[in-house]
């Protein structure tokens, strides 16, 4: 959530102007009306409080003199009734303003390029060379279906479209990738491993920005009167660990990771990537989350990007780093790096990780703060998140880049310790 002060002091010149670069048209007239009514109600509330206090003091003085105070008491009662109504109206207005601001995206960092969609993204670098094959390349679906190891039909039978059953050595390779990622991030990059719930309350989804704007993209469950949501990523659970907390300076930056199932309804993405494992309703990710001091959050953002890149480099996969433009960033991001891995089966680069700095956007929603040792005061934290990386998409990349002419798949060296030393599967 954006700073309300921005809407009060820089509504047109900053808030509306920068949000327009994201393709978001801010209803400035609505917020001008909010601010005008807020000022009126606050002024009247303060006047009534002063009048009530003044008349109450006069009642005490009149009583001390033995004077009749009935008229004064009636006047004070009237002020009390109006004051209560004014306070309630002010609370209702502030709630309406809060709800209106909850669906407004973050403002982009000054280094983010302008653009309306993915065509405005900027390639920052390429690492590695796509492999050359002397045979006809298969995509991951053809490779996986050959031995019955990738079975979309079974997934559809059990759950519906965009669910997949993995079997045999392909399931083992999928598990090996997740274990390899966790070990790398915890042993080499300094992240603390977590095991978090897959089902969360609405407060947690609101804290990281999934609610209220993106409820149609979420899977939910209802038990009695209690509604809970299946996480779309462990960004939700890891980031919300600092919700309503004051973090001491010595604990920063907090670097957290978790391997979880993720669930996304993918509303609005019908017809996209319907084959295989690129876009599933249920998938797995090793998530990276950082909670940082504001002054160091962009250094942490770069470090997190390098940590995700290290996974791809250890796997020997060609990739490129993209800087997303204003029109292609996620709702809560101020700046995002996308990592795109080369997929021979599609003859193109596809996203495998997004690493975003949300600055104070999520922290303000969660009231996540830290105690600045220089001032002794509490301030909002900065939160960051990214995939380290998406396990299913990493499996796709390994299958396609390490395929052999006979349909078998060479196991990357870094994964062999997790595969009982196997050099090839299939």
372 within 8 A of 388, measured Cβ to Cβ: no
Listed in sequence order, the residues at least 6 apart from 259 whose beta carbon sits closer than 8 Å to its beta carbon are 178, 181, 182, 234, 284, 285, 286, 287, 391
SS3 (DSSP) at 354: strand
The reply to whether 187 belongs to the active site is: no
Q: What 8-state DSSP symbol labels residue 268? A: T
264 in a labelled binding site:
yes
The reply to whether 8 belongs to the active site is: no
Residue of 55, 264, 321, 364 with catalytic role: 264
Could you give the CA distance from residue 171 to residue 174 in angstroms, rounded to a whole number? 5
Alpha carbon distances (Å) from 46 to 39, 49, 52: 11, 5, 10
215 in a labelled binding site:
no
14 within 8 A of 21, measured Cβ to Cβ: no
Residue of 354, 356, 364, 365 with catalytic role: 354
Phi, psi angles (nearest 5°) of residue 189: -110, -5
The reply to whether 354 belongs to the active site is: yes
Q: Is the dihedral of CA 177, 411, 149, 164 positive or negative?
A: positive
Residue of 82, 245, 351, 379 with catalytic role: 351
359 in a labelled binding site:
no
281 within 8 A of 262, measured Cβ to Cβ: no
Tokens describing residue 230: 């299946």
Alpha carbon distances (Å) from 53 to 68, 77, 356: 18, 11, 51
User: CA-based diameter of the chain, in Å?
Assistant: 108
* Cis peptide preceding 60, ω within 30 of 0: no
353 in a labelled binding site:
yes
Report the side by side order of strands in the sheet with 348-357: 122-127, 319-323, 335-343, 348-357, 382-390, 282-292, 254-263, 192-194
159 in a labelled binding site:
no
385 in a labelled binding site:
yes
266 in a labelled binding site:
yes
115 within 8 A of 328, measured Cβ to Cβ: yes
The reply to whether 351 belongs to the active site is: yes
Tokens describing residue 340: 């795109």
107 in a labelled binding site:
no
13 in a labelled binding site:
no
Residue of 22, 369, 393, 400 with catalytic role: 393
Which helix (H) or strand (E) segment holds residue 74: the answer is: helix 70-101
Q: Provide the annotated active-site residues.
A: 264, 279, 351, 354, 393
Pick out the residues of the known binding site for ATP: 264-266, 351-354
Binding residues: 233-235, 264-266, 287, 351-354, 385, 387
Binding site per annotation, positions for L-serine? 233-235, 264, 287, 385, 387
């Amino acid at each position: 959530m954006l700073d309300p002060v921005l809407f009060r002091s820089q509504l047109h010149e900053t808030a509306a102007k920068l949000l327009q670069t994201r393709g978001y048209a801010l209803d400035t007239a609505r917020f001008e009306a909010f601010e005008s009514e807020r000022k009126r109600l606050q002024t009247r509330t303060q006047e009534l409080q002063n009048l009530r206090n003044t008349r109450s003091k006069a009642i005490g003085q009149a009583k001390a003199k033995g004077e009749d105070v009935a008229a004064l008491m009636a006047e004070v009662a009237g002020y009390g009734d109006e004051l209560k109504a004014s306070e309630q109206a002010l609370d209702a207005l502030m709630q309406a303003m809060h709800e209106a601001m909850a669906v407004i995206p973050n403002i982009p960092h000054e280094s983010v390029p302008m653009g309306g969609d993915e065509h405005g993204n900027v390639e920052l670098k390429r690492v590695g060379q796509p492999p050359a094959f002397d045979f006809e390349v298969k995509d991951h679906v053809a490779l996986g279906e050959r031995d019955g190891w990738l079975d979309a039909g079974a997934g559809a039978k059990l759950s519906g479209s965009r669910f997949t059953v993995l079997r045999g050595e392909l399931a083992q390779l999928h598990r090996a990738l997740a274990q390899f990622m966790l070990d790398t991030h915890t042993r080499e990059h300094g992240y603390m491993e977590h095991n978090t719930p897959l089902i969360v309350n609405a407060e947690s989804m609101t804290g990281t920005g999934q609610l209220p704007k993106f409820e149609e993209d979420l899977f939910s469950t209802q038990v009695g009167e209690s509604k809970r949501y299946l996480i779309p990523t462990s960004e939700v659970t890891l980031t919300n660990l600092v919700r309503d907390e004051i973090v001491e300076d010595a604990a920063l930056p907090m670097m957290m990771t978790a391997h979880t199932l993720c669930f996304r309804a993918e509303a609005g993405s019908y017809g996209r990537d319907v084959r295989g494992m690129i876009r599933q309703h249920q998938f797995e990710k090793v998530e990276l989350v950082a909670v940082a001091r504001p002054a160091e959050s962009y250094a942490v953002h770069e470090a997190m990007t390098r940590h995700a890149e290290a996974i791809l480099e250890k796997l020997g996969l060609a990739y490129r780093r993209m800087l997303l433009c204003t029109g292609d960033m996620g709702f809560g991001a101020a700046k995002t790096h996308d990592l795109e891995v080369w997929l021979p089966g599609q003859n193109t680069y596809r996203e495998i990780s997004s690493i975003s700095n949300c600055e104070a956007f999520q922290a303000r929603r969660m009231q996540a703060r830290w105690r600045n040792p220089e001032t002794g005061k509490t301030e909002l934290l900065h939160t960051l998140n990214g995939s380290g990386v998406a396990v299913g998409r990493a499996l796709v990349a390994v299958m396609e880049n390490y395929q052999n002419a006979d349909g078998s798949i060479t196991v990357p060296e870094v994964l062999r310790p997790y595969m009982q030393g196997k050099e090839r599967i299939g």
